Copies of this chain bind each other. A is one copy, B any other.
Amino acid sequence: MAHDYGLILAGGRGTRFWPRSRRHRSKQVLNVIGERTLIQATVERLRPLIPPERMWVLTSHPLRDEIIRQLPEVPREQVLAEPVQRNTAPAIGLAAHIFHSIDPDAVMGVFPSDHVITRPARYRRMLRPAFRAAREGKLVVLGIQPRHPETGFGYIEFPKGVDPGSTTPRPVVQFREKPDLATARRYVRAGRFYWNAGMFFWRASILLDALRRYLPKTATLLSALPGFRDRRFFTELERAFPLCENISVDYAVLEKSSNVVGLACDDIGWSDVGSWEAVRELLPGDKDGNVVRGEALCQSSRGNYIDAQGKLVALLGVNDLIVVDTPDALLVADRRRAQQVGELVKILEQRRRNDLL
């Protein structure tokens, strides 16, 4: 019988969570919501379906040690650093190559490491049929029921009559790139367009076949790698991986395949927590809408997000601010600009302030 493997993609930098996020402490290893970090919560909610010994993590060199520390239950040799940052097609292709070299019948689920799901049991109800369809040879995607006309995500178009929460996979009509606002509104009204949250399920062998067909250069590079247990594996990976194409699996494979089915989730409490403002929306606030992590004294102040450890933050007559304090950097931002925090990080990079990156 085929085993289910989990691939957790943890290569992102999450610069919008500066100054908490740094090169060595990216969003997925931060406890932006709750006590556990996002990657710990990811492993935790998958655990009833995928035991840690079949869980693998792909990340970057600066984050690897921290992830190993945070996930003691995952065998450390299964936490791999990509030699360079590529998009999802080479990363998933690499994992498929490894799984296939270990277990030719391997079925894999792909999971981002930095999302929040507040209803994990309801989520797992959707994972079981997803793995089942994957075992049967399908390329499977999970769709998230949209809550608002988001322009920052791609959409999955389901056939008419799609039923959120149904555990019967439906053929995907089409993948839609990030839309403009008018289009996004139309999608939400139509009721059969779902957010593509980057969660995929397939046999490793089927994904490798698809790569050979749609991304032959990358497929050739990966298939030339020795088996994972071979001692030349990492040397060869260092050489080959940078030559792989920088492209997403959605664009390289899914949009071109006819073999794709989807499962339309009902409300599983998913969020990609894309910014401090998203965190503010997810956490409970006081009567004036101030969300405080740490200790604060808020006078005549509304709608603020405060994150500071080991000190009191006093607000006086200020509204709609993001205040995040760390030992060497303090951010004070209008929360409507939370998406632009990454631009501050770019400026610090230009100024070579490696101490703050």
Q: Digit string of A307-333 for contact with B (CB within 8 Å is 1, else 0)?
A: 010111111111001010111111111
Contact B314 A332 (CB under 8 A): yes
Contact surface of A with B, Cβ cutoff 8 Å: 18-19, 297, 299-300, 308, 310-318, 321, 323, 325-334, 336-337, 340-341, 343-344, 347-348, 353, 356
A330 to B343, CA, bound (A): 24
Contact status B314-A330, CB under 8 Å: yes
Docked-complex contact A332 and B316, CB < 8 angstroms: yes
CB distance from A327 to the nearest CB of B (A): 7
13 cross-chain CB contacts under 8 A: A19-B314, A297-B344, A310-B328, A311-B326, A311-B330, A312-B329, A313-B329, A313-B330, A314-B329, A316-B333, A317-B340, A318-B333, A321-B332
Question: Are the C-beta atoms of B344 and A329 separated by less than 8 Å?
Answer: no
Min C-beta distance of A315 to chain B, whole Å: 5
Complex Cα spacing A300 to B341, Å: 12
What is the count of identical protomers in the complex? 2
Are A316 and B331 interface neighbours, CB within 8 A? yes
Most B-side CB within 10 Å, residue of A311, A326, A332, A340: A332
**Residues of chain B within 8 A of A347, CB atoms compared:** 297, 299
- Output the nearest chain B residue to A19 by Cβ-Cβ distance: B314
Question: Residues of B contacting A332 with CB < 8 Å?
Answer: 313-316, 318, 321, 323, 332
**What CA separation (Å) do A323 and B299 show in the bound complex?**
15
Contacts of A326 in B (CB 8 A): 311
Contact between A330 and B340, CB atoms less than 8 A apart:
no
Instruction: Please pick, from B316, B327, B356, the residue contacting A340 in the complex, using a CB distance under 8 A.
Output: B316
Provide the bound-state CA to CA distance between A230 and B348, in Å: 64
A333 in complex: contacting residue of B19, B315, B328, CB < 8 Å: B315
| A299 with B344: CB separation less than 8 A | yes
Instruction: Report if A348-B311 is in contact (Cβ < 8 Å); known contacts: A316-B334, A332-B316, A334-B317.
Output: no
**Shortest CB distance A123–B (Å):** 34
- Check A330–B333 contact: CB distance below 8 A: no
Known: A297-B348, A312-B353, A315-B333. 12 other contacts (CB 8 A): A297-B344, A308-B330, A310-B328, A313-B329, A313-B330, A313-B332, A314-B329, A314-B333, A314-B344, A315-B332, A318-B333, A323-B330
Minimum CB distance partner of A308 in chain B: B330
Q: A311-B327, A343-B299 are in contact. Are A318 and B316 (CB under 8 A)?
A: no
Bound Cα distance from A321 to B330, whole angstroms: 14
Please name all residues of chain B whose beta carbon is closer than 8 Å to the beta carbon of A18 when the two chains form the complex.
314
- CA gap between A300 and B337 in the complex, in Å: 10
Q: Which 9 A-B pairs have the closest CB atoms?
A: A317-B334, A316-B333, A317-B337, A313-B330, A312-B329, A311-B328, A314-B331, A316-B337, A314-B344
Among B328, B340, B343, the residue within 8 A (CB) of A312 is B328
Chain B residues positioned under 8 Å from A336 (CB to CB) = 317
Which residues of chain B come closer than 8 Å to A314, judged between CB atoms? 18-19, 329-333, 344
Are B344 and A316 closer than 8 Å at their CB atoms? yes
Q: Which residues of B lie under 8 Å from residue A343 when comparing CB positions?
A: 299
CA of A326 to CA of B297, assembled, Å: 15
